[in-house]
Amino acid sequence: MNGSKKISTLNLILVIQLVVMIVLSAVITATISHTTKDNSIEHMLTITDERAKIIQSYVENAEKTLTYFSKAQQVRDILNDTDNPKYIENAQKYTEDYSAAIENVEGLWIGTWETKCIAHTNKESVGMVTRPKDTKAAALKQLQDALIAAGDGVYNTGIILSPATGRQIVSMYKGIFDNDGNPLGFVGLGIYTDQLVNSLNDLSTAGFEHSTYCMINVSDSKYIFNQDSSLINTVSTNQELTDLCSSLNGTEKAKDGHFIYKLKGKKYVAAYSYIPHYNWILMLEDKKTEVFSLTTLMRIYMIIFSVVILVLMILFYFINKKQEQVNKKLAASIVKNNKTKDSLYTAMFKNVLTDVNNRVSFSIDAEEMKPTADDPYYFSMFNISDFSGINSQYGNDMGDWLLVRTVDVLRQVFKGSKIYRTGSDEFVVAIQDSNITSEGVIELTTEALSRLTSRQTTPSGKLQFSYKAASAKKSSSINTAVITVLKDAVNRFNGHIDLIDITQ
């Protein structure tokens, strides 16, 4: 009887243990699934936003190039006296010399107000009239009105297919006016987009190896870029995308987001970034199964883990009926299993290489952070500039060395603070100390940045690496949006660290 009661009690404990483990596994699986889904979307949006900024920077640089060209005296001289041989010669030479220094230039030119070309990168184009009054009066009027409306700015017609070469270019014009504001003429510039496209194609899309990107003109829903070149300059047939274009058309604020759509029986996730200045949307898309592959893997992993626990418990039940010696061996097996469980948790929340917490851990820890106005949290982010370039030039072993060294320096400077690796090349330090001030955080961040950017003896010799940094203060509830704010501040890093108060 005593033996039976003992077994019944043990069985009850095992059943309770089993139920707890299953419930715990279910809760952990649901939590991690939700978190990894959000992280996957955030990562996708980060990649999309970065590419959108590259495109905007490329176009803005082209506008600056044209603006600088328009300020030259040779331009104003020829437009004031279009028949002066000396001015004609000077303007043509200046145009050729200036365009020679522009990468991927299709054409740089000076034209009269009636669009007659009087100086051009390609001499054979001089004398041509691009919009004759008798055949294209409306087009001429449209261009002239746009130049007047732009004033001292640049009239950017966007990314188009060149009528001359059939290749895609960034096309723009700038009006030239006399001191009374009367139009004298204009200058124009066409830049091939080949370098821009190649730069985008060369960018890493870690985690989305089979993703594709495209760019759409919001005003007419036509593709500007697309992996399928036959779709360029055609209207999108994706209903979700055309609806998005309709909702964003004319919006003056940048916006990003994502949506899921179905195509040929397969589901896709599309992350987009809206560039309001040019009314363009850049979109990165991939199969839903790949975007959320980590979520699926975690579910499978936890199911396997639960099955393993179940099998071990059943095995323990049968072995318990036997002798004490077998029972001791089973106890040892349980200890080993607990170690395995600890290893699994470590893999979930720690970065093995640098031995610091990862982004999943940050999102969970953030719920436990309870800052107040008197005891706020401070965060400092450090980003390794061109980390992919370092790996490419010196090898992945060198990249691993740099990651470990970065953590070592941060631990030395921010003693007792938690460090998270929130991206392949970025780290976040979370600081809560009632004795530290905003100035103190800035000093620590500056000191860490100084150490990180100092010349070091590395496995590849004496090298110096570049970092970006930013700091923020939060006196209210904390979530992963802190990382997004820090990333934005890091992207604007100009060598000086200011502390941002993001308390709402």
Supply the pLDDT for residue 321.
Answer: 64
pTM, two decimal places: 0.51
Supply the pLDDT for residue 4.
Answer: 47
Whether residue 281 has pLDDT greater than 70:
yes
Supply the pLDDT for residue 305.
Answer: 74
Supply the pLDDT for residue 54.
Answer: 87
Give the pLDDT confidence of 163-220 residue by residue, as tens digits. 777 788 889 999 999 989 999 999 999 999 888 877 777 776 766 777 888 889 998 8
Name the more confident of 328 and 82. Answer: 82
Give the pLDDT confidence of 422-467 residue by residue, as tens digits. 998 999 999 988 888 999 999 999 999 999 999 999 998 999 999 9
**pLDDT range class, residue 10, cuts 50, 70, 90:** low
Is 218 within 8 Å of 194 (Cβ atoms)? Answer: no
Supply the pLDDT for residue 5.
Answer: 47
From the list 463, 478, 460, the residue with the least C-alpha distance to 367 is 478
Looking up tokens 């006296």 gives: 81
Distance, CA of 160 to CA of 233 (rounded, Å) = 8
Whether residue 316 has pLDDT greater than 90:
no
Q: Which residues contact 391 (CB under 8 A, 6 or more apart)?
A: 398, 399
**Per DSSP, which regions of 264-362 are E strands?**
266-275, 280-287, 350-351, 356-358
Query: Percent of the chain at pLDDT above 70?
Result: 89
Neighbours of 112 (CB within 10 A): 17
From the list 348, 351, 425, 424, the residue with the least C-alpha distance to 382 is 425
405-425: b or e for each residue (b if 16 or more CB lie within 10 Å)? bbbebbbebbeebbbbbbbeb
120: β partners = 109
Q: Lowest mean pLDDT of 48-52, 135-139, 349-353, name the range.
A: 135-139
Distance, CA of 43 to CA of 208 (rounded, Å) = 10
Over 70-135, what HEC string results?
HCCHHHHHHHHCCCCHHHHHHHHHHHHHHHHCCCCEEEEEEEECCCEEEEECCHHHCCCECCCHHH
Whether residue 92 has pLDDT greater than 90:
yes
Supply the pLDDT for residue 159.
Answer: 82
Identity of the residue numbered 381: M
**pLDDT range class, residue 351, cuts 50, 70, 90:** confident
Name the more confident of 485 and 304. Answer: 485
Give the pLDDT confidence of 21-35 residue by residue, as tens digits. 777 777 777 777 778
Supply the pLDDT for residue 3.
Answer: 46
Give the pLDDT confidence of 144-168 residue by residue, as tens digits. 999 999 999 999 887 888 877 778 8
